Chain A
Amino acid sequence: MPVSPVFNPQDALRFLPEIILTVMGTLLMVLDPLIHKRGSNAFGHLSLMALAAALGASVYAYTIGGPAFGGMLMVDGFATFFRVLVIVVGILTVLPSYRFLAQQNAETSEYHALLLFSIAGQCLMAASNDLIMVFIGLEISSIASYILAGYLRDDKRSNEAALKYFLLGSFATAFFLYGVALIYGATGSVNLLLVRRAVLHQAGDPILAVAAALMFVGLAFKVSAAPFQIWAPDVYQGAPTPVSAFLSAGPKAAAFAIFLRIFVTAFDPIGNRWEPLVWTCALASMCVGNFAALLQTNIKRMLAYSSIAHAGYVLVALSAHSDTGTAAAMFYLASYAFMNVGAFSAVSVLTGKGERFQSIDDFKGLGRKQPLTAALFAIFLLSLIGVPLTGGFFGKFYIFKAALDSHLYWLTVLGLLNSAVAAYYYLRILVVMYMHEPGEATESAEPLSPGLRIALLVPALGTLFLGIFPTWVLEFAGKSSAIVK
Chain B
Amino acid sequence: MNLLTLVLFLPLAAFVIALAIPRASSARTSRLWALIGSLGIFAASLGLLAWFDRTAAGEQFLVDVPWIGTPNIHFAVSVNGVSLWLVLLSTFLTPLCVLISWNSIKDRCKEFYAFLLLLEFGLVGVFLAQDLFLFYVFWEVSLVPMYFLIGIWGHDRRIYAAVKFFLYTMAGSVLMLAAIIYIYNKTLTFSYPAILEMLANGKLSFPAGEQMLLFLAFFIAFAIKVPLFPLHTWLPDAHVEAPAAGSIMLAGVMLKMGTYGILHFCLPLFPSAARACAPWIGVLAIIGIVYGSLVALVQPNLKKLVAYTSVAHLGFVVLGIFSFTQQGLDGAVYQMLNHGVSTGALFLFVGILYERRHSLEIADYGGVATVAPWLSTAFLITTLASIGLPMLNNFVGEFLVLQGTAIANFTWTVWASLGVILSACYMLWMYQRVFYGEAGPEVRGHIPDLNGREWAAILPLIVMMVWMGVYSQSFLPPVGKNTARVLEQTNVNVPYRVQQWDRPGHPLGRLSAPALAAPRGTEVARAR
The reply to whether B174 and A419 contact each other, CB–CB distance below 8 Å, is: yes
Residues 272-327 of A at the B interface (beta carbon under 8 Å): none
CB atoms of B140 and A387 under 8 A apart: yes
Q: Is B185 among interface residues, defined by CB-CB distance under 8 A?
A: yes
Would you call A420 an interface residue if the criterion is a C-beta within 8 Å of the partner chain's C-beta atoms?
yes
The reply to whether A388 and B70 contact each other, CB–CB distance below 8 Å, is no
Q: Beta-carbon contacts of A452-481 to B below 8 Å, as 1s and 0s?
A: 000000000000000001110011001000
Residues of chain B with a CB closer than 8 A to A401's CB: 71, 181, 184-185
Query: How many Å from the CB of B403 to the closest CB on chain A?
Result: 39
Q: How far is the CA of A469 from the CA of B65 in the complex (A)?
A: 13
Partner of B178, one of A371, A393, A412: A412
B121-150 contacts to A (CB < 8 Å): 133, 136-138, 140-141, 143-144, 147-148
Contact yes or no, B151 A474, CB < 8 A: no
- Chain A residues with Cβ below 8 Å from B177 are 397, 400, 416
If over half of A's interface residues share one DSSP class (helix, strand or loop), that class is named, otherwise mixed; here it is: helix
**Chain B residue, CB-CB nearest to A477:** B70
User: Which residues from chain A contact B138 at a C-beta distance below 8 Å?
Assistant: 388
Interface 0/1 of A405-439, CB less than 8 Å to B: 10000001100110110011001101100110000
Picked from A398, A416, A471, the residue with its CB within 8 Å of the CB of B69 is A471
Question: How distant is A412 from chain B, measured CB to nearest CB, in Å?
Answer: 6
Closest to B154 in A: A435
Give the CA-CA distance A102 to B166 in the complex, in Å.
40
Please state if B178 and A400 are interface contacts (CB–CB under 8 Å). yes
Residue from B70, B71, B108, B144 in contact with A387 in the complex, judged by beta carbons closer than 8 Å? B144
- Assess whether A448 is interfacial by the CB under 8 Å rule: no
Q: Is B163 an interface position by the 8 A CB rule?
A: yes
A435 & B140 in contact (Cβ 8 Å cutoff): no
Contact of B144 among A382, A400, A419, A478 (CB under 8 A): A382
Give Cα distance in the complex from A303 to B221, angstroms: 29
Expressed in whole angstroms, the Cα–Cα distance for A397 and B178 within the complex equals 9
Using known A-B contacts A431-B151, A471-B69, determine if residue A371 contacts B23 with beta carbons closer than 8 Å: yes
Whether the Cβ atoms of A474 and B70 lie closer than 8 Å is yes
Q: Can you list 22 pairs linking A and B with CB atoms under 8 Å apart?
A: A382-B144, A388-B140, A397-B133, A397-B181, A416-B174, A416-B177, A417-B171, A417-B175, A420-B167, A423-B167, A427-B163, A427-B166, A428-B163, A430-B151, A431-B151, A431-B163, A435-B151, A435-B159, A435-B162, A471-B69, A474-B68, A475-B69
Q: Would you call B170 an interface residue if the criterion is a C-beta within 8 Å of the partner chain's C-beta atoms? A: yes
- A29 at the A/B interface (Cβ < 8 Å)? no
Cβ of B136: which chain A residues have Cβ within 8 Å of it?
388
Residue numbers in A under 8 Å from B166 (CB-CB): 423, 427
Q: Cβ of A434 and Cβ of B151 under 8 Å apart?
A: yes
Shortest C-beta distance, A386 to chain B (Å), equals: 8
Whether a CB of chain A sits under 8 angstroms from the CB of B182 is yes
**Alpha-carbon gap, A404 to B188, bound state (A):** 13
Band of interface residues on B: 20 to 34
Q: A388-B141, A400-B181, A430-B147 are in contact. List 8 more A-B contacts (CB 8 A).
A: A368-B108, A385-B170, A387-B143, A393-B140, A416-B177, A416-B178, A427-B167, A471-B69
Judge whether B175 and A413 touch: CB under 8 Å.
yes
Which A residues are CB-close (under 8 A) to B182? 404
Separation in Å of the A436 CB from the closest CB of chain B? 8
Residue A389 at the chain B interface, CB threshold 8 Å: yes
For residue B481, give the distance in angstroms from its CB to the closest CB of chain A: 31
Instruction: Check if B143 sits within 8 Å of A435, measured CB to CB.
Output: no
Q: For chain A residues 344-391, which have a beta carbon within 8 Å of chain B?
A: 368, 371, 382, 385, 387-389
Pair B163/A474 contact, Cβ less than 8 Å: no
- Residues of B contacting A405 with CB < 8 Å? 185
Note all chain B residues with C-beta closer than 8 A to A416: 174-175, 177-178
Q: A382-B144, A401-B181, A405-B185 are in contact. Are A420 and B68 (CB under 8 A)?
A: no
B381 within 8 A of A: no
Tell me if B158 is interfacial: C-beta within 8 Å of chain A: yes
Which of A389, A417, A419, A431 makes the CB contact (< 8 A) with B159?
A: A431
B184 near A435 with CB under 8 A, answer no
A441 to B455 CA separation, bound complex (whole angstroms): 45
**Closest CB in chain A relative to B143 CB, distance in Å:** 7
Determine whether the beta carbon of A420 is less than 8 Å from that of B144: no
A434 to B150: give the CA distance in the assembly, Å.
11
CA A422 to CA B143, docked complex, whole Å: 16
Question: Are A404 and B158 in contact (CB-based, < 8 A)?
Answer: no
Least CB distance, A312 to chain B, in whole angstroms: 15
Distance of A430 Cα from B181 Cα, bound (Å): 29
- Check A471–B178 contact: CB distance below 8 A: no
Residue interface bits B297-335, CB-to-A below 8 A is 1, else 0: 000000000000000000000000000000000000000
Closest chain B CB from A5 CB (angstroms): 43
In the complex, residue of chain A having the shortest beta-carbon distance to the beta carbon of B148: A434
Residue of A nearest to B213 (CB): A409
The answer for the CA separation of A381 and B158 in the assembled complex, in Å, is: 20
- B494 → A minimal CB distance (Å): 26
User: Does B152 belong to the interface (CB within 8 Å)?
Assistant: yes
| Residue in B closest to A416 when the chains form the complex, CB atoms | B174
Residues of A within 8 A of B151 (CB): 430-431, 434-435
Min CB gap A419→B, angstroms: 6
Asked, given contacts A397-B177, A405-B185, A478-B70, whether A435 binds B158 with beta carbons under 8 Å apart, the answer is yes
Q: Smallest distance from the beta carbon of B416 to chain A beta carbons, Å?
A: 33
Q: Verify A424–B143 contact, CB threshold 8 A.
A: no
Q: How far is the CB of A367 from chain B (nearest CB, A)?
A: 8
**Nearest chain-B residue to A428 (Cβ)?**
B163
Whether B70 and A423, one on each chain, are in contact in the complex, defined by CB atoms closer than 8 angstroms, is no
Q: Mark B384-403, 1 if CB is under 8 A from A, else 0.
A: 00000000000000000000
User: When chains A and B are docked, how far (Å) is the Cα of A113 from the Cα of B137?
Assistant: 43
Best-surrounded residue of A387, A424, A428 (most CB of chain B within 10 A) = A387
Q: Are B174's CB and A389's CB within 8 A?
A: no
| Interchain CA distance A407-B184 in the complex, whole Å | 13
Q: Which single member of A420, A430, A470, A471 contacts B170 (CB below 8 Å)?
A: A420
Q: What residues on B are CB-neighbors of A434 within 8 Å? A: 148, 151-152
Contacting residues, chain A, for B170 (C-beta < 8 A):
385, 420, 423
B261 smallest CB distance to A (angstroms):
16
Which among A417, A435, A469, A470 is the interface contact of B152 at CB below 8 angstroms? A435
Which residues of A have CB within 8 Å of B140?
387-388, 393
The residues of B that contact A371 with a CB separation of less than 8 Å are: 23
Q: A420-B171, A434-B151, A434-B152 are in contact. Are A404 and B69 (CB under 8 A)?
A: no
Docked pose: A82 CA to B267 CA in angstroms: 45
From known contacts A434-B151, A434-B152, infer whether A389 and B68 are also in contact, taking CB-CB under 8 Å: no
| Chain B residues within 8 Å of A368, by CB | 108
User: Looking across the interface, which residue of chain A has its beta carbon closest to that of B150?
Assistant: A435
Residue on A with the closest CB to B158?
A: A435
**B152 touching A404, Cβ below 8 Å:** no
Complex: A158 Cα to B496 Cα, angstroms = 69
Q: Given the complex, which residues of A lie within 8 Å of B23, measured CB to CB? A: 371
CB distance from A283 to the nearest CB of B (A): 15
Give min CB distance, B234 to chain A, whole Å: 14
B residues within 8 A CB of A427?
147, 163, 166-167
Name the A residues within 8 Å of B108 (CB-CB): 368
Complex contact A404–B163 (CB within 8 A) = no
Nearest chain B CB to A395's CB is how many angstroms away? 13
Alpha-carbon gap, A423 to B174, bound state (A)? 11
Bound complex: CA A428 to CA B147 (Å): 12
Q: Are A424 and B181 in contact (CB under 8 A)?
A: no
Query: Which residue on chain B has the smallest CB distance to residue A478?
Result: B70
In-complex Cβ contact of A389 among B141, B167, B175 (8 A)? B141
Which residues of A are found within 8 Å of B71, using beta-carbon distances?
Answer: 398, 401
Chain A residues closer than 8 Å to B174, beta-carbon distance: 416-417, 419-420
Is there an interface contact between A474 and B69, defined as CB atoms closer than 8 Å? yes
Neighbouring B residues of A431 by C-beta, 8 Å: 151, 159, 162-163
Cβ contacts under 8 Å, B147 to chain A: 427, 430
Cα A397 to Cα B167 in complex, Å, equals: 18
B442 to chain A, nearest CB (A): 29
Q: How far is the CA of A423 from the CA of B172 in the complex (A)?
A: 13
Q: What is the bound-complex CA distance between A424 and B147, given in angstroms?
A: 13
